[in-house]
């Protein structure tokens, strides 16, 4: 499959969109009714409560809810593109299936029927290659549910529409967004072939394309190239679904798919906090805990989380119930997988049992939020000169750290990390080095942030930020700060080498939800040759 660069993809996409809008292409989209030779399947469980909300016209997609009582969601131009894409993906058909019964079946059919009415010809969102691929997975995966007892008119239109979508996807597959979107597009073609028995030549080319994409998109250690935990979850679920569709049709699962699934599952375990949700790095969300657990249990009976992924650039420190996840990234994600990448090198998150203590702010797309949520200041790490450690551009990252080094040492359950990056060298002549230690019993987590190097000949302001989860209560005391988690455990924070203060923060860990929070800030000035800040979190005895 041809590799894409952002510029070439944009130019090709514009040219192809002109073709897709033409009357000639509308003629080429005419499908034909084909006879199924296999049975699709959706390996994931649905939520009946969500089906009930959709029944009532409360359409919640991509973190936003639109209420359209007695009207389908198609043709809405106000909601964000992500909302429109999720609506047209039909991944929520599993919710209607989980609800069961004739009413749910007819409600699902009505949404399919009205979608076909609204989008019988090309549409820039509804017919985007990744959306079409996801929809083909969903429609083939729930075809038996939709077609059982349906009248001949619905069956005819449903099958013809699927054929037209598959024809379009074959032509447009190389225009799919980089990352999970490309796998969705190719997976939709494989699912359609599994159900209807397509051209073996085309299937071989799709599998070759999928193998090439997974080679670029999944590192040898199993981490996705975007380094985004939510992408890790989404891609793993997509691959499991593709495998299930092939197995249900008694077709072989492509070896690249099976291999990627086996490598990726332990990395997903690495990203999971004690509360079952995911850490917030490079555009991720907490995600639904049940979905994360379901995904891991579908792959293996028990996944043992990794301690580190060298290529992915993450370190996991565990001491009793205390967990630290640190971004010691090989430089931040490479193009074209850096669309949601953050400038958070050497940031960490800290949780105790099922409660999060120190977090990163999270991600919010859009021109108003993205620059702030991607900034170094939105992460629990050091900021030098009020500058980002990587350049944040509208469609990804520009200048970034060229070298990120990390050394790990363990002894009797105690863990030390020594990590450094050069993202500030060109502008300030200083390397940021972060050393951290977690005790085996999980009661002490301490670190030091060091700026070292020849410097730029003048003092430079710095801040070290520790963003706290919104549920954490914090108060300053003469020798530091006291923190209390909802479950009652108390922690004392101490620091030396700068001025300690509390500032407002924000938490964007769940789609469409903005929560006020606080952050501990250590500020000071670095001499031309550098500076050192020491800090520690220690559990208060008896809590």
Residue pLDDT, tens place only, 473-514: 999 999 899 999 999 999 999 999 999 999 999 999 998 899
Q: What is the pLDDT of residue 199?
A: 67
Secondary structure E strands in 86-190: none
The alpha-carbon radius of gyration of the chain (Å, integer) is 25
CA distance 381 to 347: 5
**Which stretches of 197-320 are DSSP H helices?**
200-217, 229-248, 255-270, 289-299
For the sheet with 480-484, list strands across it. 404-411, 414-421, 431-438, 444-452, 530-539, 490-496, 480-484, 473-477
Mean pLDDT of successive 10-residue stretches along the chain, which has 543 residues: 47 78 78 72 94 93 89 86 95 95 94 96 93 97 93 94 94 90 95 83 91 95 96 97 91 92 95 97 96 92 82 96 93 87 97 98 88 97 97 90 94 97 94 98 98 82 98 95 96 97 97 95 93 97 81
Each domain of the chain, given as residue ranges in start order, spans 313-539
Per-residue confidence (pLDDT) for residue 29, from 0 to 100: 78
Confidence (pLDDT) at 4: 47
Yes or no: say if 40 and 191 are a contact pair by the CB < 8 Å rule.
yes
Give the Cα separation of 26 and 207 in Å (integer).
28
What pLDDT, on the 0 to 100 scale, is given for residue 489?
A: 94
- Dihedral of the alpha carbons of 63, 66, 67, 70, in degrees to the nearest 10: -110
Q: What is the pLDDT of residues 264-296, one digit of tens each?
A: 999 999 999 999 999 999 999 999 999 999 999
Inter-residue contact 390 to 332 (CB < 8 Å): yes
Q: What is the pLDDT of residue 538?
A: 98
Question: What is the dihedral sign for C-alpha 466, 467, 471, 474?
Answer: positive
Strand partners, 436: 417, 447
What span, in angstroms and rounded, lies between the C-alpha atoms of 252 and 534?
55
pLDDT of residue 7: 39
Select 313-539's CATH number: 3.30.420.40, 2.40.50.140, 3.30.110.30, 2.70.98.70.
2.70.98.70
**pLDDT tens digit sequence for 90-124:** 999 999 999 988 999 999 999 999 999 999 888 99
pLDDT for 515:
97
Helix axes 6-21, 152-172, angle to 10 degrees: 140
* Residues in a beta bridge with 473: 484
The single-letter DSSP state of residue 88 is: H
Token duo for residue 25: 């292409």
Which phi and psi (to 5°) does residue 403 adopt? -135, 130
* Phi, psi values for residue 76, rounded to 5°: -80, 125
Q: What is the pLDDT of residue 37?
A: 64
Length of the chain: 543
pLDDT digits (tens, 9 = 90+) for 162-183: 999 999 999 999 899 889 999 9
Contacts of 116 (CB under 8 A, 6+ apart): 157, 158, 161
pLDDT at position 302: 67
Residue 415 is predicted with a pLDDT of: 98
Other CB atoms within 10 Å distance of the CB of residue 30: 11
């Amino acid at each position: 499959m041809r590799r894409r660069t952002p510029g070439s993809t944009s130019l090709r996409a514009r040219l192809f969109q002109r073709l897709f809008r033409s009357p000639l292409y509308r003629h080429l989209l005419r499908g034909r009714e084909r006879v199924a030779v296999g049975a699709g399947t959706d390996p994931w469980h649905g939520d009946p409560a969500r089906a009930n909300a959709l029944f009532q016209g409360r359409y919640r997609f991509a973190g936003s809810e639109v209420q359209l009582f007695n009207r389908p969601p198609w043709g809405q131009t106000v909601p964000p593109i992500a909302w429109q894409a999720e609506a047209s993906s039909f991944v929520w058909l599993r919710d209607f299936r989980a609800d069961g019964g004739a009413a749910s079946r007819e409600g699902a059919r009505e949404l399919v029927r009205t979608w076909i009415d609204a989008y019988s010809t090309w549409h820039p969102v509804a017919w985007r290659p990744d959306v079409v691929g996801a929809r083909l997975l969903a429609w083939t995966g729930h075809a038996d549910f939709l077609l059982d007892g349906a009248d001949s008119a619905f069956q005819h239109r449903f099958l013809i529409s699927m054929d037209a979508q598959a024809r379009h996807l074959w032509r447009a597959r190389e225009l799919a967004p980089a990352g999970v979107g490309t796998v969705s597009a190719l997976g939709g073609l494989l699912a359609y072939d599994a159900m209807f028995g397509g051209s073996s030549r085309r299937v071989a080319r799709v599998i070759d394309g999928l193998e090439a994409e997974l080679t670029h998109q999944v590192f040898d250690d199993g981490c996705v190239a975007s380094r985004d935990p939510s992408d890790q979850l989404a891609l793993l679920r997509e691959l499991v679904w593709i495998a299930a569709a092939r197995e249900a049709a008694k077709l072989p699962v492509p070896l690249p798919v099976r291999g990627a699934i086996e490598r990726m599952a332990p990395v997903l375990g690495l990203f999971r906090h004690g509360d079952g949700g995911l850490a917030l790095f490079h555009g991720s969300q907490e995600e639904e805990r049940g979905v994360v657990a379901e995904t891991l249990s579908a792959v293996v009976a028990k996944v043992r989380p990794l301690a580190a992924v060298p290529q992915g650039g993450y370190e996991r420190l565990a001491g009793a119930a205390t967990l630290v996840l640190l971004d010691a990234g090989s430089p931040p994600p490479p193009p074209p997988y850096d669309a949601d990448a953050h400038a958070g090198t050497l940031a960490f998150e800290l949780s105790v049992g099922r409660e999060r203590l120190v977090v990163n702010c999270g991600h919010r797309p859009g021109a108003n939020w993205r620059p702030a949520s991607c900034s170094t200041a939105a992460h629990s790490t050091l900021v030098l000169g009020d500058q980002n450690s990587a350049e944040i551009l509208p469609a990804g990252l520009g200048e970034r750290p060229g070298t990120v080094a990390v050394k790990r040492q363990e002894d009797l359950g105690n863990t030390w990390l020594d990590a450094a990056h050069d993202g500030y060298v060109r502008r300030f002549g200083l390397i940021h080095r972060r050393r951290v230690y977690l005790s085996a019993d999980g009661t002490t987590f301490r670190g030091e942030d060091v700026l070292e190097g020849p410097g730029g000949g003048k003092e430079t302001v710095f801040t070290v930020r520790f963003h706290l989860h919104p549920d954490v209560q914090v108060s300053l005391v003469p020798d530091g700060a006291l923190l209390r988690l909802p479950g009652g455990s108390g922690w004392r924070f101490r620091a030396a080498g700068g001025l300690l203060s509390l500032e407002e923060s924000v938490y964007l860990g769940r789609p469409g939800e903005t929560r006020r929070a606080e952050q501990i800030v250590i500020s000071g000035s670095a001499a031309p040759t550098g500076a050192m800040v020491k800090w520690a979190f220690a559990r208060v005895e008896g809590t």
